[in-house]
Structure formats: C-alpha cells, structure tokens
Structure 1
C-alpha cells in the first residue's frame, strides 16, 4: 500500500510558474532530449516507455544531453504574474538514471524584458546558439538573488521524486533562473507564492477576486478533483481539470426533491473562501460552469465579510465570521456562463467572499466585479 504524501502548506498557494498563468521559458542552454517548456505544465508527468525520437528517449520534462563541455545547464523562466515566492517543488518523476542530481535557484525583479531570441516551435534536439549565448552573457546574473543554494535532488522514483523547498523571501520576483548541476532531467518545476498585484484606481471596475489583483483562496471544504484557487485565473478555463471540482457528497438524499424555486433540497454543501485583491464594493458577478456538463452544482450562493483583523483559517473561525448574503442561492446550468447584477443583495464593502455550491460538483471560474473602496 502506498503511503499518502503530506504536502507543505505553500502548495495551497498560486502556482506562479504555471504555463496556464502565463509563465514561459525565455532561455535554456540545452533541450536535446526534452524541452524546458515541459517544466511549466500543470498536469502530472507521464511515461511512455516505447516512445523515442531521432534524438533519443522522449521524456515528459526538461532533459539535457550528457554534458561534454565545461559548465552546467540552466534555464530562465519569466513568471506570467510577478509574485512573492514561498516554496518550490522540483519533481523528477520517471527520471531515474538520468535525473539532475543538484539544483540551485536565482531570482530577479526586472523592469524590462531580457530581449532574448524567441523560442519558437518544438525545441527538442537543440541547444542555445552562439548568438543567443552571447546575448545571455550580457545579463548580470551576479545581481540575481540566490533564493535556494545548491541542493541535492532525489531520483524520479515514486518515493523520492517530489522535492519540496521552502523559500524565505518577501521580495517580488519577475524572473527565475533554474540551475541544474551539471546536466540531466527534471519533470516539473512548480513555484508557489502570492501575486503582488495592487489595485490603485478606485473608479475602475475590476475582477476583485482575480489572481491578477491578488485574489487568493484561504480555505475550502473539498478539492477532490480540482483546487478552488483555479477559479481566480484571469483567462477562460481549458478543461474540467482547470476548475474547482469536489467529490460527490455521501450525505445526498437517496431520492432528490426540489423546492418552489426548482433548487434541490439537500442537507450538505461545499464551500471555498477567497481574499479579494482589495476591499471593494461589488457591482456584478459571473459564474462559469464551462466543461462541467454532467457534474455541475445544482445551486450556488455567495456571502461576503469585511475582515478587521487576521484569523487562523479553520472551519470554526470561518463559520463565526459575520457573513452577509451577496447572492442568495441560484440554480445553475451546465457548461454555461451565469451573469448576476440585479440579483446582488449586499454590495459591501467586502474583503473576503465565501462561495457555496450545493450539493457538490464543479465550476470553472468566478468573477467578482467591483471597485476598490476609497480610503477615508
């Protein structure tokens, strides 16, 4: 029987390195067996034992050739959204005799793009050209902060593949350099942290819950198939995997009945709480069930609260908060965008919202539109 992994608390934060959040590889010394872009995928790595290319065994990760020249391999990642890094996972899945034995991580906050040669198409079987290397050598990496010193990794076996490292830094970063020593393979590189978005304009209507503005999930009841933090992504969802989906509740009635409004009568529900990017007044709400057709919730309810002091985010403390109804229970439909404006009951100001779905199921995105509260 496999032992269940205990994940570090920082894995609940936004995955700043995800390609789905706009991150991209802007440079890699070598992509011979597998390109560095694979590092940024959110889906779990897979292994195809019989798949080879003209360059060798195809791996689902970043794998460089066996180095036969001085130096070591490395790549630069531009974060899609600048943020504070609280932890990383270096996953060496399936790289058993070819994993990178050591890594280090550097970070920088750059105000301008690096203006390197654009990586186009599939980079497999390639290495950085002399022209690109010349441009890269102009970058002052001595000024980049080392946020993780040279550290050993475990092989890509089930019990050693997940390498977690807490990062002690409160600075905002835009770029990260991942160094592998001297060569080898890494399946996924996951950077977890908080988005540094700030809201200044009090007259502009924005999505207060968006991760672009610092929206963050602070607690939830169930995330069996998909984490509720996915709801805050600014771009439309890509699939059911890119949303919040719970398990089916075991306390749902054997025979379902509906009330006078067509909403099912159930005793249980699932919920998720979010900190808004700014204290704001709500004007309208969108709830998207895209891709959820046979597993969308029957109804949704949204409450808000204005927090005056921090709390320990557990179920008991969340329940004690003075929640006000923003949106009373509304019937949902599958694979559809629901827009609520006139239905908004309490407009705020609010600092946090609680989204409750009944009895269970999945939604892809929630937009909480409004304006930042003016300071008095």
Structure 2
C-alpha cells in the first residue's frame, strides 16, 4: 500500500518552494502525465513538484503526513518527464509523531509561483524535522526518461512511521513519491468493547490472493474511508462461462457454474462479529450474491497457499457469512455466524457470484492474542473466548 498517497489521506504539510508545480502533485494516485504545449504564467506546466532554480543558500524540502501510519518497506521516487530539470539528489527522513503531541501547523494553500513564508518556516520548525531518522541517505537520482524514471529504495526497518521529509539537493522536480508499506495499529489503545475493522489497510490488512482483478484490485475494498467512484473498488471481468440464459434455484440464488474470490490476511487475528459489504457506485455490475469464510494460517502456511494459488481444502474454511443476495449501490450490514465470539481467524475469503464489483468490505470484530509464530504440528484447534474480553496483548 502507498502509505503517502492522497487516496488514503496523505497530505503535504510544508514545502519550501512550489514555484513551477505544487508539492501536492507528489501524492497523486494517478501516474504522472505530460502536456507538451501547456504553460502557466510561471513556466512549463509539470505534473509533479518542481521548485525554482536555487539562487540562495540551502536546499528544498517538504514534509508529508502519511495517510496510514505504518511500517515502510520501500520508496519509489519517480522523476517521470523531468529530464533536464529533475532533482539531482534526494534523501528521505521519517518520524513517528503521536497525535496529541503534534504542534498545530497552519492549513497549507496550494499556490504555484510562491515560496514558504517566514511564518510557515517558524511553524514547521516545531517538528524538528532536521533531526528525524534518515531512511534514505543523499543519493543521486536518474532523469525522468521512460526507462529510468523510477528510483527505488528498499527500507529495512520495522519501526512505525507517521511523517516523512523529502529533501532534494539543491532544487528541481520530482513527479511522484510512493511510500510502500503496511499499516500498523497500536492494538493496546482504544476501547476493548468497541469492535474494530480487522481487515482494513489502515491497520495492516492486505489482499494475499484473488481470482480476477480486471478493473480494480481487492485492496481497494479494504481502503480508507468510503469509495469515491467505481475505481475505488474491486471489480472483475465478466465471466466467460456464464450461461446464455441464467436461472435461479429454489431459494432465488442465481444458478451459474463459477465465481470470483479474494483472500485477505487480517491486520490482527480475531473474531468477526459483523460484516459490511458496500456496493456503492456498482449499479449495473454488482454481484448477484456473496459469502465470507475464515480460517487460521501461520505465515508459512500462507506462503504455501500463495504458491498454490489458494487451493486450500474446503474443510479448512469456516463459514462467517452464508450465501447472501446483494443489491446494487447499497450498504449491507450483516451479522457474522459467530455471535458468541468463538471462531478466531487470521484470513478471510470473500466470494462473489458470478462476477462484478464491490466498493468496500469491512470485517468488524475483536482482536485475539493467539500465537502463530510456529507452524502447527497438530490439527487446528478451536479457540473460545467470552464476549467483552480484552485480549492480553
């Protein structure tokens, strides 16, 4: 997941200069574009962050508040279309700032052709970003030619981060900044009586397998907030094996030979008590029905299943939601089949019939403290817990 993307709430807090193009472009979800003959009153229009040529001491930099607080696995500094004016060098720093200890930063206005004011410099100085941990030392960047625009930096750190500082030396342009990683939540915080969405990317949930993602990846379904359009959901291609004239069974369920599915690793092992399925925006292409199953897998077992394309024996899956008809463009709030908080799971499989699109999937419940550090040598056990419990994390 791109933890810095505007799509998940990433935000530019400060930039030293936005003369040719504002730093907000760094966090755009879409790939950068180029308009050959388009100019602004300040110069060439560019889809990225581009500062003026430095004529005073110092270098340019910006501060990003990540949309998802989490562990960063790597950066992609993309210089696409910046060929004779790309930033020559870059470094990246990071910090994990507690919400209640962050100073108040003035609301930033996107203003091409301007530089940071003394008041903005004074406000951002309270973050002491000069002293943040260095994740990427000063490194030369390649120009934005199609074959060389992506500059990848793997990060070997297990620490959780909330903010990053991008330094360019001394000036220039960068099209996009991607901070790839996984969300991470402090599970000891919060009210233990309130159910949490255990599959959301904000806490570390992720899709680890799917049958089809022609129009949208399953990770979109577990994204932050509500969907903004069909592009924010999971949508499959139309199955080629659907019958020429579909019919229903005795229960009103469509009789079709195939289905589509997506498997998710929960952010934390837990018990699912409520399931939300939102088909918003999918009016003529929502699934006819769906079901949800869960299981317990160790890390090694998950890796084995990925290699086997999730050919997991049917008896391993425990039903969380039976086959349920779905309506177009509607939020469905459904109770799980484990109302007594009995079945702990680590993975969930969401199956739709026969195909179509879903905007959001929420698996709400309570985290459990079961340990899965070593592969099981005995048959899977059934874990029982009581309502209102607080996991000893």
The answer to whether TM tops 0.5 is: yes
The residue matched to 1:119 in structure 2 has which SS? coil
Map 1:190-339; keep pairs closer than 5 Å.
Answer: 190-200=178-188, 201-308=191-298, 310-311=300-301, 312=303, 313-314=305-306, 316=308, 318-320=310-312, 322-339=316-333
The residue matched to 1:80 in structure 2 has which SS? strand
**Separation (CA, whole Å) in 2 of partners of 1:179 and 1:261:** 61
Shift of 1:343: 6.7
Task: Note the alpha carbon deviations across 1:104-146, whole angstroms, 9 max, x for none.
Answer: 11111123224333202x2211111123224444553453111
TM-score by length of 2: 0.84
8 Å CA contact 1:52–1:58 kept in 2: the answer is yes
Q: Assess, with a 3 A threshold, how the Cα gap between structure 1 residues 293 and 308 changes in structure 2: closer, same or farther.
A: same
Shift of 1:15: 1.4
The answer for unaligned runs of 5 or more in structure 1 is 1-13
The alignment yields a C-alpha RMSD, in angstroms, of 2.4
8 Å CA contact 1:107–1:173 kept in 2: the answer is yes
8 Å CA contact 2:208–2:306 kept in 1: the answer is no
Shift of 1:32: 0.8
TM-score by length of 1: 0.88
Match of 2:49 in 1: 62
Map 1:95-114; keep pairs closer than 5 Å.
Answer: 95-111=82-98, 112-114=101-103
Map 1:161-176; keep pairs closer than 5 Å.
Answer: 161-176=149-164
**Separation (CA, whole Å) in 2 of partners of 1:342 and 1:130:** 55
The answer for unaligned runs of 5 or more in structure 2 is 369-388
Q: In structure 2, which of residues 37, 49, 63 is the aligned counterpart of residue 50 of structure 1?
A: 37
Q: In structure 1, which of residues 332, 353, 357 is the aligned counterpart of residue 348 of structure 2?
A: 353
Shift of 1:86: 0.2
8 Å CA contact 1:324–1:346 kept in 2: the answer is no
Q: Assess, with a 3 A threshold, how the Cα gap between structure 1 residues 107 and 309 changes in structure 2: closer, same or farther.
A: closer
Q: Assess, with a 3 A threshold, how the Cα gap between structure 1 residues 238 and 226 changes in structure 2: closer, same or farther.
A: same
Shift of 1:228: 1.2
Match of 1:115 in 2: 104
Moved more, 54-63 or 262-271: 262-271
The total of aligned residue pairs comes to: 362
**Separation (CA, whole Å) in 1 of partners of 2:277 and 2:354:** 16
Q: Assess, with a 3 A threshold, how the Cα gap between structure 1 residues 346 and 41 changes in structure 2: closer, same or farther.
A: farther
